[in-house]
Structure formats: C-alpha cells, structure tokens
Chain A
Amino acid sequence: MLSTRLSNTQVTFPKDNLHVGGVEHRSVHNRYGLDYHQATADGLYRRGYQTHGPDGDRPFVLSRAFFPGTQRVGPIWTGDNFAKWDHLQMSVPMLLTISMAGLPFSGADVAGFFGNPEPELMVRWNQLAVFYPFFRGHAHLESPRREPYLFAEPYASHLRNAIRSRYALLPYMYTLFRHANITGVPLLRPLWYEFPDNKDTFDLDTQLMLGPSMLISPVMTPGATSIDVLLPRASRWYDANTGAEVERSSSWLSSGGDKQKVQVTLDSIPVYYRGGSVVPRRERPRRAANMMLDDPVTLVVALDANNQASGDLYLDDGHSFAFKRGEYLHRSFTFNGGQLQSTPAPTATNTPPGSLQLPTVTVERIVFMGLPKKGAFQAKLPSGQVVDLEFEPISVVAPRAASAHVMRKPDLPISQDWTVEIYPKQ
C-alpha cells in the first residue's frame, strides 16, 4: 500500500512512485494539472447539453496548474501574488510569457492576493488589469475588504471608470478571443510581436499590446507623474483617453529611439490606438455583459500614414456552441480612399461561414482619428443622405476624452454590407 502521509518536503507523491506500466511519477506529475482541469471542464461540457439543449453551454473552469494543451480547456491565472508594486510590475512579463507560450486566456489577481493594497496601487492595478484577458479581483480570506465601492473618492471614481472601460472594450476583446480560438494567436502581445524590426522592443517588459491595435503602458510606481513610453515610429499613434494624435516633432528623449516622456495623472494610464486600426466598442456599460448583447456598437477608426485602416468584429450568443454551426457574425471593416466599408470577414478554414442575423444591433457611432485637421467633414450614408461629422468626445466612458470627428447615429445595421463615404465639407 502506498504511503498516504505526504511527508516529504514537496508535500506530494514521491517522484519515484510507480504508475501503471512502470512509469515513474516524475514523468507524469506535471500533467496532472491538465488532466484534472480537463476532466472538470469535460463534465460541464457534457452537462451543458443536458441543461441547455442541443447547442450546449460553454464551460468556464479556472485553473492554476497548467500544461501544454491547457489553452483548449479554460483560463489560468498566475496564482497567489502580493499587493505590492513589484508584483504589479511582474504581472506584465509573466502574462506576456504565458501568452507567447500558447495560453491566451490568462490573468493575475488584481491588486494582489496577499496583503492590503493602498488605494493608489488598487487604482493603478485595475487600470492595467482591464486589459488582462482574465480580469478578476481576488484576495485572501483574511485580508481586509477591498471592493471598489469601499474606497474613498477620488479612488472610487477612478476604479469605476476603469471597470466601465472594460465593458466598452468587450467587443474588441471578444473578436481577439475568436482569433485565438481559431489560430492560437495571443491577446496580450509583447511589442516585438508587432514590431519585430524594432530592436528597442526586445527587452521591453513595461508595456504590452492588446491585439494588433492597442498599446498599453501601465503606471507601476507609486506617485509617478510621468513615465517613459516606447511608441515605435513604424506607426501613427493616438491617445485612447483624449483622441489626440501623438506628435513626433517634440519631446523625444535624447537617448534616441522612439521613447516619449508622457505626463500621467491618477485618473488614467497611457493607452494608444495604433494607426491603421478599426476597433469595435460598446459605449454603454451595463451591470453585466449578458445585458449588452443587443446594444449598438461604436467603431473607432484610426488612420495610418496612408490614411487607411482595417479591423473586424466578431459576435455570437456568448454562451453556447451554436457558433460551430455558423451562428455567428464576423464582419470586416476597411477604410480606404475616404470610404468605410463593412463586408463579411473571410471564413476561417474548416469553419462554416457566419450567418447570424442581429437585427437590433446597429453602428450608433463612428469616431475618426487622423483625418486632416483642417475644416469640417461630411459623410454620405448608404441611403444617400448626407450628414455632418460632429465634434464630440471620442468616448463616453473615457474621463478626459476630447473632441474628434464623430459620425452621430448613422444607425447602420451590423449584419449587412454597407459603405459610407467621408469627405471634407463642401
């Protein structure tokens, strides 16, 4: 009979225990994290067909142990960290590494598991963590309570704004999850993934990219009033909080490269849209993502050096496997020569084309960044109607959003092809 007292220093089976077939335990020990995780998810997967009918129900099982292959099963997180600034800093390279190792659905306990984060750490961590694929606040049972609403002002407002911005970000993240599901590409990417020719990005672990279109430079030291941000010159960059394009003429650090010194305040961290992107958002944060399924979409169009941009949007019912038989919507948006077009996205190999009709979902707002600044613009809608682009905040949820060219309420149906044309106002 095996020793049942786990008395060795590792508090686990001795490594030379033999399994069936004479296999030593050391050869299979690490697999256990995958097997256990998979068995649980499998049970929920089967149960989903009993409780939710022929389209089933997607399991959500979070694991701390993982192995190659875990990315097919469920999300993981980095485990018991501390409420300390250096652990906030560490979460960036940890998650980038995990993502590049093939596990895109990953995150870290926000504001640290052990300990008591000071309000500034809580705010800064949340502002970064809304970009984690797996975003969860979690703490030890005996640590002091730290629900966001228990913090005093101004921290509570900053936390509220950060969490609201997560809801607005969901359509973009969900689209990135679709790509991860089909091809395995990570959501969180180191800068060298997008800019492999830029040697300055090779050892950079204080910034990350969410998909190809957003760059996040978190503030990870207490009391910071400015941080250095690397913005590769291969792209145009737009401040996601204010909508302003980053000017290259002034304020480069003398050490050369593409680093900028950016002033920061407690209400936000530097986040940038990359020129050449069309990013879908839902600017109507509700109390749960489930309630947002019928809400209209905002498109953020950020132009590159050639005044072009592209992006896509993936939508489905969010909980079942109906997408496997084509119940999904995947649209491509391209801006070229002043025209913004919506077309069906190319179908991935071995998947059915998406045929989901969402008649209540429209595009309620299109934000343009990088248009030539002079003067006003007009847009011609598919109906032939001509409307002015108005000067409005780039986002309803961003705290310091400044005005940009916004197409107000075009009410373009998301499931159909359409083209709108932008030109300077005659």
Chain B
Amino acid sequence: MRLLSCAAPLGLVALWLVAASRSAAAVPRGVDPSQAALYSGPTFTCKDGSKTIPIERVNDGYCDCFLDGSDEPGTPACYSGYFWCQNLGFEPQLLSTSFVDDGVCDCCDGSDEALGKCRNTCLDRSASERQAVRDHVAFVRRALDEKQALISSAVQKQRAWQNRKGLISSEVSSQAAEVNKLQAQVKQAEATAEADRKRLAQEVEAQREAARAAEEARQQGGGQAADAEAAKQQQQQQQEQADAAQPPSQETETDEERGQRIASQWIKPPADGEEGAYEGEGLGEDGEGGHLDDDAYPYEDHDDELDDEDYHHHDDDDMAEPPLPEPPSAAEHAALEAQLQAALEKLEALQAEGLNIQRYHQGAANYDFGPNNVFLALAGRCIKDEGKRWIYEACFFDKAVQSEPHAPKNRVSLGSWHGFNSDYTQAYFTDGDPCPGDLPKRSLTVNLVCDDKEHMYGGEEPATCIYRTNLATPIACKEADLIKAEQDLQQLERHEAEIRSQIAAAEAARRDISKTEL
C-alpha cells in the first residue's frame, strides 16, 4: 500500500469552512454569491461590457449576452455561460450552462436540475475521502509498529554478533576443512563410477553379440515357421481394415461419430513422431511463455537450450539401443556431490557472517545507522528491485549493482556505500563503474519512502549513468505523520455533523423559494 498525499484531507477541511460561511443569499439561480453585486440594481451589464439590459432579462430564458452568457447563469439559453453549484459538503463547482436542466445530475448537490430530480451526493463523495483518511491513519500506525520491531531486532542483531564474534573464525576454518575433505571424496567416487560404467558396457555388448549370432543361425534354419507367422499377421490386418471401412449402421452411429468420420476423409492425422501443430506451446524450456510462431510448426526442435554435444549424443543413442542402466556407484557419486554442494553453501554463509561481524559490529563506528541504529536492520543483506528490463540490487552499507533478468552474469557496479542525507530520506552509492566520455561514474540514489511493507521499486536511469530507485520501508515513517493524520481525521469527523445540518437548511430554503415562485 502506498503512502497517500496528505494535502487532500487538509484542503477538504479548508473548503468546508469556507463553504459554510457563505450563506444562500438572494442571488439569481446559478450565480456565485460573491458576484451578487453585479446582479443587483435595475439593469445588468454583460460581463464583457457588450450590452446593458433591464434586470428582468437576467435568467429569463433568452440569451442576450451571447458572447459570454453572463445574463443567463441559471438557464441553458446561452451555451457559453457558467452555472455556480454551491455543493455543500464538497466543493463549489462551475458548470457549463448547456448542462443545466438537461436531465443529468452534474453538480453533486443536484442544483443544476429541477428540485427533486437529483439527490445531494456531496457528503457521499467526501465520505469516501474521510474513509481514505481513516485507512491512512491505520496504515501509519501499522508502519510505525513495524519500525519499532525493526529497532528491537537491530539491538538483538548486535547482541547475536557479539556472542558469535569469538567463535566465527574457528567455525569458518573447520567448515573449509570439511569442504576439502568432501572434494577429495567426490573425486574418488567419480573415478569409481566411471570404471564401473565401462565394465558394465563391455558385459552388455558381449551379451548382445551372442544374441545376434544365435538369431542369424535360427533364421537360416527355420524360414518356414517365420513365413507362416507373417501370413497370419497379414490376414489379421486385412480383417481389421475391412471392419474399419464399413461404416457403422445408421442406428448405432451418433452425430459425433458421423461428423468425425466425414472429417477424417479430409483431415489427415499427424504421422508418428510428428507433433500436432499446437503441442509444445506453453512454457518452453527457456522459461518464457509460448511463442506461437516458433511452436506452431511440428518439425522444429523445442529444446533450444541443448548444446550440440548433448544433441548428437542423444541422437546416436536413440537410434541405436536403449540406454544402459547406471551402476550403484553412480548413485553414491551423486549423493556425495550433493553433500559437497551443501557444505559449500554453508561455508559461504559462514564467511558472509564473519564479514558482517567484522564490518558492522567490530567496525560499527565506521557507519551511521541512523537514530536508534534503526537502519541496522538493512545491514548485511541485499534488497532487489526486479524490473522487467533491469534488476537493481542495493546492499546497504556495502555496494549496489545493476544486472539483467535473463543474463544474471551481466552486472554493472552502481557504486559503493556513501551514506545518508541529513534527514535520512535518501541513501547514496557512489563511485561505480565508469561511463564513456565525460559521463560521471555510475551512482545510485535510493529514496526512502514510508510503507508498512519493505519493498524496492521504480528503478530508473533519469540521466545517463545516474540511477535512482525507491525503497519503501517502515524505517522511513515518522511519528509526526501519525499525529497529523489523526488530527485531520478528528477535524473531518467533527465537521460532518455541522455540514449535514447546513445542507438540510439549504434544501429547505430552496423549497421555500420555489414555492414562492409558483
């Protein structure tokens, strides 16, 4: 949820106070009370000075001041005039007079149409704004609670590092030793598995050779038996074809079957091995959505990512014999590989932890973590803004990097940690990778925005090699925001009752006026 602009609720309060002070004076329909003086007296002069008419011709339903429509503010006679709606409960509005008395409720107080045609919806409009202010107050309260939690977690983090400080270096070295041991074991297992495979292949080949020789011998000796077998098969096939050619009798064939039968005369099923035109669509191996153009043709290979070596290897084996079974030592090799991976990851984590302790605990004096060390919550980790085109990664107190979603190895440094501005609304990384010519070295500015959930968004490059992104975080929320929002809400709710009574009074007055006009 985004932070709302705070200007709106206050503006609303101001307008309510102003609107309340204007009384429904005896001005012609559609005239702003502040202009009442123009419409008093025995004559009226068009606002552009073009004509003077007797006052009876104001709002008489005939356009006299045809250039500016000022003699007909309350009727649609001049399309160039303007009608003033009081809109108690919301904001006054100037409406083109061509919208007056046309059957459509344009002003929220309905004064642009005959009495009774429209409902006063002005408070409804401001009701939704009041609800928005209420939601905003709740949101700011939540965000500040989050912030408090982050402050306490920062304290805990420091304590944890304190405890781990002594142990971390020995843990790192013992883990490194474990990794080395595993690496040796993996090498050993790999060699064993390879040897087993070779032996197995030789055994299987010998068996096949024997079988082939036996088959040749049998064929030369037992030709008759084979012929009889073939003839029987052929007869069976013919019978099946005859059955298929005869369509089922009229009574038993359904419409669906008949349709399929007729269609099959015109549509050939795809031959074996081909795929239908639309199979293979959907998420391809490259991870993107299906490309209809590419996948519509059944003969193209979908596996774009296979490199040549695998392809040829696959091809040879497919055409020849089914693949050989794996020896048990291969499974052992795989298991050891997995263990090695896990151990490597654990080593990396420990090394990173050691680095964090060294930097942010032992070297804490080098960094400004903000009031109450609240920004410590961001230390030692990296936050990503994953856009479609670029990924921006900011590791507070360390470095910032830009990379591409589909090519993570393409990385560009946007700088190393520089610091905050004086009120902690922006953070800076500077001195990144150079840019050609007179362009500055790459840098990143992070705007800190109050929000109840942490996320980074809106990464952009407003000027060449100057980068900007936004970090929404509870850390950027301030107590003062909450106080202000709560005050606004109180004022709005207090005035609602006042306005309601004013609206009732104004409508009663309109009813009285229309009664006397009859």
**Which A384-426 residues have a C-beta within 8 angstroms of B?**
393, 396-397, 408-409
Question: Is A1 in contact with chain B by the CB < 8 A criterion?
Answer: yes
Q: A396-B78, A396-B79 are in contact. Are A286 and B98 (CB under 8 A)?
A: yes
Determine the chain A residues whose CB is within 8 A of the CB of B103 once the complex forms. 291
Does A164 lie within 8 Å of B62, measured CB to CB? no
> What band does the interface of chain A fall in when counting residues whose beta carbon is under 8 Å from B?
10 to 19
Does A409 lie within 8 Å of B61, measured CB to CB? yes
Question: Is B456 in contact with chain A by the CB < 8 A criterion?
Answer: no
Does B76 lie within 8 Å of A286, measured CB to CB? yes
Does B62 lie within 8 Å of A393, measured CB to CB? no
Complex alpha-carbon distance, A170 and B61, angstroms: 21
Determine the chain A residues whose CB is within 8 A of the CB of B60 once the complex forms. 409
Show 13 A/B contacts (Cβ-Cβ < 8 Å), sorted by A: A284-B77, A284-B79, A286-B76, A286-B79, A286-B99, A287-B99, A291-B102, A291-B104, A295-B76, A296-B61, A393-B66, A408-B62, A409-B62
Distance (whole angstroms) from the CB of A251 to the closest CB of chain B: 31
Determine the chain B residues whose CB is within 8 A of the CB of A285 once the complex forms. 79, 98
Distance (whole angstroms) from the CB of B2 to the closest CB of chain A: 30
Complex alpha-carbon distance, A397 and B66, angstroms: 9
Q: A285-B79, A291-B104 are in contact. Are A396 and B63 (CB under 8 A)?
A: yes
Question: Is A304 in contact with chain B by the CB < 8 A criterion?
Answer: no
Does A396 lie within 8 Å of B98, measured CB to CB? no
Distance (whole angstroms) from the CB of A361 to the closest CB of chain B: 13
Interface string of B142-160 (1 = CB under 8 A from A): 0000000000000000000
**Which B463-486 residues have a C-beta within 8 angstroms of A?**
none
* Residues in A lying within 8 Å of B, measured CB to CB: 1, 164, 283-287, 291, 295-296, 364-365, 393, 396-397, 408-409
- Picked from A164, A364, A409, the residue with its CB within 8 Å of the CB of B79 is A164
Does B61 lie within 8 Å of A287, measured CB to CB? no
Does A364 lie within 8 Å of B76, measured CB to CB? no
Complex alpha-carbon distance, A397 and B77, angstroms: 12
Distance (whole angstroms) from the CB of A286 to the closest CB of chain B: 5
Question: Is B266 in contact with chain A by the CB < 8 A criterion?
Answer: yes
**Which B371-401 residues have a C-beta within 8 angstroms of A?**
none
Residue of A nearest to B77 (CB): A284
Residue of A nearest to B51 (CB): A392
A interface secondary structure, majority:
loop
Complex alpha-carbon distance, A132 and B60, angstroms: 35
Complex alpha-carbon distance, A1 and B262, angstroms: 11
Residue of B nearest to A401 (CB): B66
Q: A1-B266, A291-B103, A393-B66 are in contact. Are A284 and B76 (CB under 8 A)?
A: yes
Complex alpha-carbon distance, A291 and B98, angstroms: 10
Determine the chain B residues whose CB is within 8 A of the CB of A408 once the complex forms. 62
Does A284 lie within 8 Å of B98, measured CB to CB? yes
Distance (whole angstroms) from the CB of A113 to the closest CB of chain B: 30
Does A286 lie within 8 Å of B102, measured CB to CB? yes
Residue of A nearest to B96 (CB): A287
Distance (whole angstroms) from the CB of B434 to the closest CB of chain A: 41
**Which B30-84 residues have a C-beta within 8 angstroms of A?**
60-63, 66, 76-79
Complex alpha-carbon distance, A124 and B266, angstroms: 57
Determine the chain A residues whose CB is within 8 A of the CB of B77 once the complex forms. 284, 364
Determine the chain B residues whose CB is within 8 A of the CB of A283 once the complex forms. 63
**Which B71-124 residues have a C-beta within 8 angstroms of A?**
76-79, 98-99, 102-104
Distance (whole angstroms) from the CB of B99 to the closest CB of chain A: 7
Complex alpha-carbon distance, A115 and B76, angstroms: 39
Distance (whole angstroms) from the CB of B456 to the closest CB of chain A: 36
Taking A284-B77, A284-B79, A393-B66 as given, write out 6 further A-B residue pairs in contact, using a Cβ cutoff of 8 Å, ordered by the A residue number.
A287-B98, A295-B76, A396-B66, A397-B79, A408-B62, A409-B62
Distance (whole angstroms) from the CB of B506 to the closest CB of chain A: 26
Distance (whole angstroms) from the CB of B209 to the closest CB of chain A: 57
Complex alpha-carbon distance, A266 and B26, angstroms: 45
Determine the chain B residues whose CB is within 8 A of the CB of A364 once the complex forms. 61-62, 77
Residue of B nearest to A291 (CB): B102
Interface string of B255-268 (1 = CB under 8 A from A): 00000000000100
Interface string of B21-33 (1 = CB under 8 A from A): 0000000000000
Distance (whole angstroms) from the CB of A379 to the closest CB of chain B: 15
Determine the chain A residues whose CB is within 8 A of the CB of B266 once the complex forms. 1
**Which B240-272 residues have a C-beta within 8 angstroms of A?**
266
Determine the chain A residues whose CB is within 8 A of the CB of B66 once the complex forms. 393, 396
Complex alpha-carbon distance, A364 and B62, angstroms: 7
Distance (whole angstroms) from the CB of A219 to the closest CB of chain B: 26
Residue of A nearest to B60 (CB): A409
Complex alpha-carbon distance, A393 and B61, angstroms: 17
Complex alpha-carbon distance, A365 and B77, angstroms: 11
Distance (whole angstroms) from the CB of B345 to the closest CB of chain A: 53
Complex alpha-carbon distance, A284 and B78, angstroms: 7
Distance (whole angstroms) from the CB of A241 to the closest CB of chain B: 15
Residue of A nearest to B104 (CB): A291
Complex alpha-carbon distance, A291 and B78, angstroms: 15
Distance (whole angstroms) from the CB of A298 to the closest CB of chain B: 11
Complex alpha-carbon distance, A1 and B63, angstroms: 71
